Structure 1
Amino acid sequence: MKINRTFLCLPLCLALFNNCTKEDKPTETLIVETNAPACQTPNESNNTYRTFFKPSVGWVGVPIPFYENGIFHLFYLYDARNTMPTFHPWYKVTTSDFATFTDTSEMIATGTENQQDGALGTGSVFKRNGIYYAFYTGHNGNLDPKEKVMLATSTDLKNWTKDPSFLLQASWGYDRNEFRDPIVIEDKSTGTYKMLIATRSEVGIVSNSTVPWRAVIAQYSSANLRDWTLEKPFCEDTTTFITECPDVFTMGDYQYLIYSNIDDRMVHYKYRLLTANTWITPVNSALDGIDYYAGKTVTDGINRYIAGWCPTKNKNSDAANFDWAGSLVTHRLVQHPNGTLGIAIPNGVDNNFIVNEVLNAKIGFGTTKQGDAYTLKGNGAKKAFSVFDRKTGAFKIKTHIKATSSTQFGFEFGACETRNEVFAIVLDLAKNQLRLDKVIKNASSLNLTQLPLNVPANKEFDVTIISENSVCVIYINDEIAFTNRIYKMNQNAWAIFADNGEVTFSDLKIFK
């Protein structure tokens, strides 16, 4: 990962209605915009994050996940946000379900401002013969090379000892100042180990390439985890500066490469059959939006999860640039028969919200309500909507959406006062997009970020939203995760809407 203090630039219900008798005919509700809840000024200073973990002081940088004996050990680069010349030591938090966490604080300290590891970068943890090996990036912008791979070992995953005799720097032809994020995997076919490192390479290092410098994942091999020999590059990418935080794993008949693209600030993947050499880039290679970075995976032998971070924004402002580091967000990977991946909510997170709260619309327009089903009919000139109580802390929204004729609908956060300004998560069926828009009444919407949206033939969507303070993650059909940081969401009302046509939000419930 890049050592940087900031980064710049997130037919069930219809059948029910059609079969209604006179006695259970739904009630038409056309409420005018009056008595809307007033907006609160977002304040993150005293907020505690549990579901999307952050330490009590400071923030979560790149996660380095490791699993053993029912416990996920999530090492991470700790971001103190101070002016110290040394920064980003390895900290650790543990969990069994990604819903409750135990913070165990510092694991591997930084060196001095004159040492190679004045700042620590990401890496990986590997166990061999009862010894845990933490390979990490030593970064110091005042040295040449700026980056080398370093090593610390442990016998208990708690107490770590640096090995000053181990220093691996870039081989000839590779960029000595961009040489980081080591991951170690076992090659069981040969009984050896492979270390993959994010770097850049000159012409001639990878055959048939005419690009002077390009992103490369270098590959080294070892029989003992101490002595490493350079091999042919594992992968190259001529479309980006560097492919950060590489992660490689096998699932079924496929091998996967996860990486973070430093240019578009998104986590991507490629895959290939175990019997093939050529990587396949799927039509939608992104595993989340721009508010999710540096995702790395871990498995408990049954499920595989990807842990990354949702960045904060400068001065807790929705209008500001992203900071480096933020809150921990973890998804569950879903493998499809053709090898492509989907994203789903971890069961532990989903099951952590079980208290069903009363859901009452405060204001609305163009809404028909029956039980937990809300049918909205927008006419183009005026959108249909229903605004619900403000929420604080952490909560879960679940619903099944059926788009009868609407092509643009979704959820609004910060829906207060007269809804003059809201942040809308939009399902746009005409453009096959899932978007976060800043919507100002009687003005053009501003698109903040977007992802491709797979629209099924029946136009039905199972949706789960997990919100905690200013972090919001929406999961759709076990296909998409869309993470965003929305400060106005905290302490303010939310809404469902339809810009046009008819759509039904059935079994709409909120849980704490």
Structure 2
Amino acid sequence: MKEFFYRPENAWVGDVIPYYEDGEFKLFYLHGWRDNYREGLDHGWHLLGTKDFVNYREDGACKIEGGTGHILKVDDVYHMFYCIFPEGKQFACHAVSKDLRTWEPIPEDTFGPDGEIYELADWRDPFVFWNEEEGQYWMLIAALAKGPTNRKGCTGLLSSKDLKHWEYREPLYAPNLHVGAHECPDLFRMGDWWYLIYSSYTGRFGTFYRMSRSLNGPWITPPEEAFDGRAYYAAKSVSDGQKRYLFGWNPTKEDDLFGWNPPKAPGKDYDTWDWGGNLVVHEIVQRPDGTLGVKAPETVDSAFARQVLAHFYGVAGEWSITDEVIRCDSPYSFAGCITQEELPDQCKISATVRFSGSAQGLGFMLRAGESLDFAYYITLEPERSRIAFRGPIMQSEEGGKTFPYDVELERPLKLLQDQEYELKVFIDGTICEVYVGGEVAMSARMYDIQQGKLALFVSQGTAEFHGVKIEALGAGQAPQ
């Protein structure tokens, strides 16, 4: 089965460097070969073309071997800024092109950190833009600022008149929060706000944003700083002139690197998160107060348009089941209902949910069995103001003995009684993408249960599920 969320054949999507031109998203990305890498095989930057995030054209390798960076066009010349890692050091590099395909590196433009403002260590992922206010180019870069503690991660800043000679400046953003550099910096303006995006793997793993009325700061941390959870990383954005999209990767799990996966576990759900995986695109939504949320792009949403039969019947608790509303009042216990039909390997599940009373939890169980125990749980938890993802091992004694935490993935979400929440879940083999309205996204992986049904549940409360639908890819919408 061809995966819907893009991945190259026998390889993986790493950091994406998006560029938009002539009605098409040109997606440069780091091509991860992993165990099938061999000397002489093209690797480094590859290029994809897409107009809809459903169908992709593979344009192949760009003959640039290096790390994440940025593309901009000046006077009909494309400029690529990227990074290299010779002998454990890190340098920013420059290349030019007339067609986005054939690139000519400019070796004399290569440079590293200064050792005065910035440590002689991390120096990667350059992002370059024209600063209209100053009348020169600015470069943001993942770096380490000089400082008294190891929390030196920062968004470094340089400026240039000609894209060749760069002046080192004090960091754009250095909050003393992260031990590691602020990876994959990205910057854009939307309305009255500037937004700074970066990713970090220390303290809290994910892609974050800050907001400011001015490029000179201060850079405000919003109430929820992340676009997604642990299973989404290195995301950068681009606009088509109307909407802005965020391009990141949902990581795979190929190795039990630290022994988290119990020895008796039959699968890979609790293996270590990898670098690289499948491309996932979110649409960025700006709220009235300037904070940002994300939702599924309309083209991805509409690709799943072929309704699949779903006949529910109650298993535990007293359920009222009609074509429009599925409801259960279970104030003191767990209640669940399940479909007669199996879930397709690729599908979208959607519903508008509402709860009342002091509901402990409600939501979807994916690939559930008749006994409503082992499944993948997507749970709205009002009393904890979050949506959570749990795998099947958490329902067993083995899970209780193994893990020092009660949830595998979570996203903060304020949940109020008698308010409707639009819940959408996209399943693509092992990939699971969850959206709540334009508020929250949560990426996950599902390896160990390959088949099962859709179940709805509520624990110690009252829940209503309106317009529950399972939809498969429509005709002509199979991923290319």
TM-score tier by shorter-chain length is 0.7 to 0.9
From 177, 189, 200, give the equivalent of 1:239: 177
> Are the aligned partners of 1:184 and 1:196 in contact in 2 as well (CA < 8 Å)?
yes
Could you list the runs of 5+ residues in structure 1 that have no partner in the other structure?
1-46, 111-119, 204-209
Could you list the runs of 5+ residues in structure 2 that have no partner in the other structure?
256-266, 473-480
Alignment-derived partner of residue 435 in structure 2: 475
Alignment-derived partner of residue 289 in structure 1: 229
Q: Which amino acid aligns with 1:449?
A: L
Structure-2 separation of matches of 1:307 and 1:151: 23
Alignment of 1:376-415 (within 5 A): 376-387=328-339, 389-405=341-357, 406-415=359-368
> Are the aligned partners of 2:64 and 2:103 in contact in 1 as well (CA < 8 Å)?
no
For the pair 1:68 / 2:7, whether they are aligned, the reply is no
Bigger mean CA deviation after superposition, 330-339 or 362-371: 362-371
> Are the aligned partners of 1:48 and 1:56 in contact in 2 as well (CA < 8 Å)?
no
Structure-1 separation of matches of 2:216 and 2:332: 50
Structure-2 separation of matches of 1:380 and 1:492: 27
Q: Which amino acid aligns with 1:354?
A: A
Structure-2 separation of matches of 1:377 and 1:265: 38
Structure-1 separation of matches of 2:439 and 2:240: 21
> Are the aligned partners of 1:266 and 1:286 in contact in 2 as well (CA < 8 Å)?
yes
Structure-2 separation of matches of 1:319 and 1:407: 26
> Are the aligned partners of 1:202 and 1:212 in contact in 2 as well (CA < 8 Å)?
no
- Alignment TM-score, normalising by the size of structure 1: 0.83
- Alignment TM-score, normalising by the size of structure 2: 0.88
The Cα RMSD (Å) is 2.1
> Are the aligned partners of 2:349 and 2:470 in contact in 1 as well (CA < 8 Å)?
yes
Alignment-derived partner of residue 164 in structure 2: 226
Alignment of 1:104-503 (within 5 A): 104-110=59-65, 120-140=66-86, 142-143=87-88, 146-173=89-116, 174-203=118-147, 210-211=148-149, 214-241=152-179, 242-263=181-202, 264-274=204-214, 277-314=217-254, 317-361=268-312, 364-366=315-317, 367-387=319-339, 389-405=341-357, 406-416=359-369, 418-439=371-392, 440-441=394-395, 446-456=406-416, 458-488=418-448, 490-503=450-463
Bigger mean CA deviation after superposition, 338-347 or 447-456: 447-456
> Are the aligned partners of 1:215 and 1:243 in contact in 2 as well (CA < 8 Å)?
yes
> Are the aligned partners of 1:123 and 1:136 in contact in 2 as well (CA < 8 Å)?
yes
> Aligned residue pairs: how many?
447
Q: Give the SS at the match of 1:165.
A: helix
Q: Give the SS at the match of 1:125.
A: strand
Alpha-carbon offset, residue 98 of structure 1:
1.5
Find the structure with the greater CA-based Rg: 1
Alpha-carbon offset, residue 320 of structure 1:
0.8
Residues 255-288 of structure 1: CA deviation (Å, up to 9, x unaligned): 0111112112211111011386211101111110
Q: Which amino acid aligns with 2:169?
A: E
Alpha-carbon offset, residue 131 of structure 1:
0.8
Would the alpha carbon gap of residues 176 and 377 (structure 1) be closer, same or farther in structure 2, given more than 3 Å must change? same
> Are the aligned partners of 1:149 and 1:180 in contact in 2 as well (CA < 8 Å)?
yes
Q: Give the SS at the match of 1:323.
A: coil
Structure 1 vs Structure 2: percent identity of aligned residues?
29
Bigger mean CA deviation after superposition, 210-219 or 177-186: 210-219
Alpha-carbon offset, residue 235 of structure 1:
0.8
Alignment-derived partner of residue 49 in structure 1: 3
Q: Give the SS at the match of 2:375.
A: strand
Structure-1 separation of matches of 2:15 and 2:225: 20
Alpha-carbon offset, residue 151 of structure 1:
1.8
Alpha-carbon offset, residue 459 of structure 1:
2.7
> Are the aligned partners of 1:364 and 1:387 in contact in 2 as well (CA < 8 Å)?
no
Q: Give the SS at the match of 1:350.
A: helix
Would the alpha carbon gap of residues 212 and 483 (structure 1) be closer, same or farther in structure 2, given more than 3 Å must change? closer
Would the alpha carbon gap of residues 434 and 346 (structure 1) be closer, same or farther in structure 2, given more than 3 Å must change? same
Alpha-carbon offset, residue 495 of structure 1:
1.6
Structure-1 separation of matches of 2:315 and 2:158: 61
Would the alpha carbon gap of residues 501 and 305 (structure 1) be closer, same or farther in structure 2, given more than 3 Å must change? same
